[in-house]
Amino acid sequence: MIRSKEKFITPEEYLAREAQAECKSEYHNGEILALAGGSANHNLIAGNILVALRQSLAQRPCRVFITDMRLHVRPSGLYTYPDVMVVCGKIEFVPGRDDTVTNPIVLVEVWSDSTKAYDRGEKFAMYRQIPTLQEYVMIDQTQPYVEHFRREGDFWVLATLGKIDAILALPSLQCEIPLATIYEKVEWQRNKGESV
């Protein structure tokens, strides 16, 4: 993620710029943050999650969105593009827009080296402010490893999954996704040119 060195930008200016931009950016506290491009593994994992969730939720009133649907976290003012986002029931958009959701129940981020600390820390702190959010999943793209946070009242409970035969259970969606499905066709590198 690359921070802009410009003057304070209003949310309205950001949204107007974003409509014309060739690359997506995140917005927070008057700053525009350029998002890094995704790797092959990043795209495969996000796509695998999307397909698994769409299949599991086909008969339920839930919609699964991938990276092009923007999320607005009202309390913090953050505008961002989660890798995968699930909304159940009526979609709530930012007034006057059909491209910015405010009420996800599940968010998924696929880590890169440059986003891992942010996704775990500052971004998760902002995500926790979303009243509808029940689960937050972070997926490592370099090895089979998932961190899954689940809201229980006022607390967030962490479960970690570190084996390819583990299963990610998403109680708020009443579905399960094997890590083998999440990591299908993903290739890890030990050293340059050596596949795992």
**169 and 101 in one domain?**
yes
Range of the domain at 77: 39-195
Instruction: Please check whether residues 69 and 132 belong to one and the same domain.
Output: yes
24 and 50 together in one domain: no
Same-domain status, 145 and 115 = yes
Residues 84 and 152 reside in one and the same domain: yes
Predicted confidence at residue 1, as pLDDT, reads 43
- pLDDT surpasses 90 at 9: no
CATH number of the domain where residue 61 is located: 3.90.1570.10
Q: Which residues contact 55 (CB under 8 A, 6 or more apart)?
A: none
165 band by pLDDT with thresholds 50, 70 and 90: very high
Q: Which of these, 74, 73, 149, 72, lies nearest to 109 by C-alpha position?
A: 149
pTM > 0.85: yes or no: yes
Per-position DSSP letters for 125-173, written without gaps between them? HHHTT-TT--EEEEEESSSS-EEEEEEETTEEEEEEE-STT-EEEETTT
- Taking CA atoms, 188 is separated from 41, 89, 120, in Å, by 8, 37, 22
Can you tell me the distance from the alpha carbon of 122 to that of 55, in angstroms, rounded to the nearest whole number?
32
pLDDT tens digits, residue range 88-133? 999 999 999 999 999 999 999 999 888 899 999 999 999 999 999 9
User: Are 25 and 43 found together in one domain?
Assistant: no
Count of domains for the chain: 2
Q: Residue 72, exposed/middle/buried by CB under 10 A (0-12, 13-18, 19+)?
A: buried
28 and 91 in a common domain: no
User: Of 10, 11, 189, 195, which is closest to residue 97 (Cα–Cα)?
Assistant: 11
With CA atoms as reference, report the closest residue to 85 among 107, 52, 54, 55: 107
**53 shares a domain with 1:** no
